[in-house]
Structure 1
Amino acid sequence: MAIRYSIIIPTFNRAQQLLLTLVSFETQTYPKHLFEVIVADDGSTDGTKAMVEGFQASYPLIYVSHQEQRGRSAVRNLGLRHAKGLYVIFCDADFLVLPEFIKIVSRYHRKYPKAVLSGIPYSWDDAYTHYYPDFSPEEKEHFRNRLTQSNLWNPDFEAANEIIPLVTPEDILYQTVALSKLVIPTKVPPNVKKQLAKTDVAPWMLLVTRCVSIRRSQLTRIGGFNERFVLYGLEDWELGYRLHQLKIPFYSIKEVVGYHQEHPNYFRGNIINTENLKIMFETYGFNDSSLNLFTLLPPSEDFEAYKNTLRVLRKGIRSKLTRSSALLLKKTLKISAKQFFQQNNTHAHKKSLRWIKKKTKNRKSRVATVLREMLLRSEKLVK
């Protein structure tokens, strides 16, 4: 039978975490001849190639690589070029999937065959599978507190100079209690999780490559990931944005399907990458308020406020009573995005803001309140 799911795991120097992730696919209850796992290596130097090629998988396992690091988008596209499945599941090298993972994804795709399915936000819990000597002091404190709660703390960790495994491949394969003792309840606030799962505005933000399933034909139609995005930040949302433009629906899988293996924060890179945001504006211009709003209210700063601002704007435009204020809000977001992108002609920027501020001075609607808040934020762009 033909491969139905191609799981693409991009990696760079994550051999120890990747090993556990590969083992977790051994536990799948979904038929193993119906899925393949493609490890796309972005030039690792830590023995990843030898580990993968020596891994005795009971499912089809393919290793492809770049000789030198080319970035997060390029390595995912490398894996995509080798995929044969009807659906592609992007899965991070540090994401431990639970045994029902592919079966759950398959159940959702039977209901939503053309949709993008995201494991976010219900699979956002972390687990300590390794101790890293280069954890920050704050990360070490969190690590110590969690292991103390589970009676697993060992003072020898303090003096360790090498990565120490806490969960073994056997623990994953035989589903021992080791992992459950090391799960860290998500640090993501409930309101943020709730907003992420909602798709009434900016549904494309559900495309987070930790765990997302997409029809392969849809990916090839839009050309995969934009390889101008090299560093961390926005490369997954940009892909989601293009799929959204094709009116492809997005759904969140409302079940836990895996755990992220906790690691030092510096592995991720900068959460807000301003150069990548500039690429977004170069590509799509300044006519979409959901993109323009990034410059004044980044989702990472306040996800709930970000989405609520878009809702206020949409509702305001639909009402004759508030349409003029909503259009001024839209204009404010647009000129702010242009100022962020061009970073010049601050006099014209300030002049436009003063004009809008004057127009909205005595307005009392919810839209006008949000508009004044965005004007204040916009003024800070030139300070």
Structure 2
Amino acid sequence: MRSQPQCTVIIPTYNRARLLGLTLASLTRQSLPGDSFEVVVVDDGSSDETAAVVDEYRDRLRLQYFFQPDEGFRAAAARNTGIRHAGGGVCVFADSGMLLHGDFVRAHLDAHAAPGGPVAVVGYNYGHKQDASGTWALEDELDVDDPSGTIGRLAGRPQWRDIREPFWAKYGDEFHHLPAPWLVFWAGNISVPTEQLHRVGLFDEAFRSWGGEDLDLGYRLHRAGVPIVLSRAATAVHLPHDKSEAANESAANGNYRYMAGKYGTPITRLLPLFPAINPFTMNDWIRDLALPSCAEYLDRGPAGAGAEVGAAAGAGAVAARADR
């Protein structure tokens, strides 16, 4: 009888068979024994060779595959399927098209084993740009058969560093004390104790277009008292693929409005002001506007809400300033 896996790596995917294959291949090269973790691939209705690619790895990975009909963008639902079938005590999320360092799984587990109680871990992504036009040159830097060596080389190339680096340069790697640390909680490379995911209610499946469902989960974890921490050792390369910054921003804007209305706090009401407000400096806006934390605001109740609502509404005028 197989022992329980230490963690479950959950990969949602849609029509990225080639990229998924590279992600799965990098999971076969992990420094942890292959039986110590499981992989759950959840297919959001692909019409390409995704299922066949998964079959190629069944004898090399402890692998489960689930298919959900193509009913539009349902990444949140796909991830939730993975969580519900997870046998590991930690869920590690990786997007298809992530080339994972050989210590990727080990680094996530090490972050959760550190003293201090449960945490939500943000990994480090090389090569992630908002628009595909800036990423295709990365292909010349890649050796897909040697992810760890590739990442070692990219570490010395500033142009490929994680695009959240300005956030960490400003606030430091220990940023969980900020009023909105969840702004960098991006689901392409994160991990959370499985029990904590169930406690906060998993991903919100009302997010039906690109963007925001990971911030929403990070927000609820933060509100539940789970620190969000960075693991620079949990590294991956975001492989180039077709995408559009303008299309993604348009899709995400509706999701930010939904999240702002869902929680109704002065901090969350800043979200629809992206990108006029840079999310990497939004914690400064919160400070400059003297906004209460979400917990403080909700504890005050309707009687104390007026001033904070006014301050948040005034942020739109402030956002016309040159971005910092």
The equivalent residue for 1:185 is 160
Cα distance in 2, alignment partners of residues 37 and 192 from structure 1 = 31
Deviations 1:227-277 (A, max 9, x none): 110111111000111112211111111335211112122399413523212
Cα distance in 2, alignment partners of residues 330 and 259 from structure 1 = 41
Aligned length: 300
Q: Equivalent residue of 2:47, what SS?
A: coil
The equivalent residue for 2:299 is none
Cα distance in 1, alignment partners of residues 12 and 117 from structure 2 = 25
Deviations 1:66-117 (A, max 9, x none): 1224511111111112111101011111111111111111221111541101
Cα distance in 1, alignment partners of residues 246 and 27 from structure 2 = 24
Offset of residue 378 of structure 1: 8.0
Of 115, 119, 128, which aligns to 2:119? 115
Unaligned runs of 5+ in 1: 129-134, 151-165, 319-326, 337-370
The equivalent residue for 1:227 is 205
Unaligned runs of 5+ in 2: 297-304
Task: Tell me the TM-score normalized by structure 1.
Answer: 0.68
Cα distance in 1, alignment partners of residues 183 and 151 from structure 2 = 33
Task: Write the mapping of 1:340-355 to structure 2, written as runs, cut at 5 A.
Answer: none
Cα distance in 2, alignment partners of residues 9 and 145 from structure 1 = 22
The one-letter amino acid of 1:125's match is Y
Cα distance in 2, alignment partners of residues 237 and 56 from structure 1 = 32
Q: Equivalent residue of 1:305, what SS?
A: helix
Offset of residue 222 of structure 1: 2.4
Cα distance in 2, alignment partners of residues 45 and 100 from structure 1 = 32
Identical-residue share of aligned pairs (%) = 26
Of 77, 95, 99, which aligns to 1:96? 99
Offset of residue 303 of structure 1: 3.1
Cα distance in 2, alignment partners of residues 107 and 178 from structure 1 = 19
C-alpha contact 1:96 1:259 (8 A) present in aligned 2:
yes
The equivalent residue for 1:160 is none
C-alpha contact 2:125 2:235 (8 A) present in aligned 1:
no
Q: Equivalent residue of 1:83, what SS?
A: coil
The one-letter amino acid of 2:27's match is F
The one-letter amino acid of 1:43's match is G
Cα distance in 2, alignment partners of residues 185 and 275 from structure 1 = 29
Q: Equivalent residue of 1:105, what SS?
A: helix
> Are the structure 2 counterparts of residues 11 and 333 from structure 1 closer, same or farther at C-alpha, using a change threshold of 3 Å?
farther
The equivalent residue for 1:194 is 169
1:282 maps onto 2:283 in alignment: no
Deviations 1:187-224 (A, max 9, x none): 72743343474222202223210111101111112221
The one-letter amino acid of 1:249's match is P
Of 230, 245, 249, which aligns to 2:223? 245
Of 298, 317, 322, which aligns to 1:375? 317
Of 194, 206, 211, which aligns to 1:216? 194
Task: Write the mapping of 1:309-348 to structure 2, written as runs, cut at 5 A.
Answer: 309-314=285-290, 330-334=308-312, 336=313
The equivalent residue for 2:268 is 291
> Are the structure 2 counterparts of residues 187 and 61 from structure 1 closer, same or farther at C-alpha, using a change threshold of 3 Å?
closer
Cα distance in 2, alignment partners of residues 75 and 204 from structure 1 = 21
The one-letter amino acid of 2:268's match is L
Cα distance in 2, alignment partners of residues 281 and 189 from structure 1 = 22
Q: Equivalent residue of 2:229, what SS?
A: strand
Cα distance in 2, alignment partners of residues 189 and 214 from structure 1 = 20
C-alpha contact 1:39 1:63 (8 A) present in aligned 2:
yes
Cα distance in 1, alignment partners of residues 138 and 89 from structure 2 = 44
> Are the structure 2 counterparts of residues 302 and 110 from structure 1 closer, same or farther at C-alpha, using a change threshold of 3 Å?
same
Cα distance in 2, alignment partners of residues 237 and 178 from structure 1 = 26
C-alpha contact 1:5 1:34 (8 A) present in aligned 2:
yes
C-alpha contact 1:332 1:375 (8 A) present in aligned 2:
no
> Are the structure 2 counterparts of residues 181 and 240 from structure 1 closer, same or farther at C-alpha, using a change threshold of 3 Å?
closer
> Are the structure 2 counterparts of residues 332 and 312 from structure 1 closer, same or farther at C-alpha, using a change threshold of 3 Å?
same
> Are the structure 2 counterparts of residues 237 and 69 from structure 1 closer, same or farther at C-alpha, using a change threshold of 3 Å?
same
The equivalent residue for 2:41 is 39
Task: Tell me the TM-score normalized by structure 2.
Answer: 0.79
Task: Write the mapping of 1:131-210 to structure 2, written as runs, cut at 5 A.
Answer: 138-139=133-134, 143=136, 147=140, 167=143, 171-172=145-146, 180=153, 185-186=160-161, 188=163, 190-195=165-170, 197=173, 198-199=175-176, 200-210=178-188
C-alpha contact 2:98 2:239 (8 A) present in aligned 1:
yes
The one-letter amino acid of 2:160's match is P
C-alpha contact 1:293 1:333 (8 A) present in aligned 2:
no
Q: Equivalent residue of 1:253, what SS?
A: strand
Structure number, greater radius of gyration: 1
Cα distance in 2, alignment partners of residues 145 and 204 from structure 1 = 28
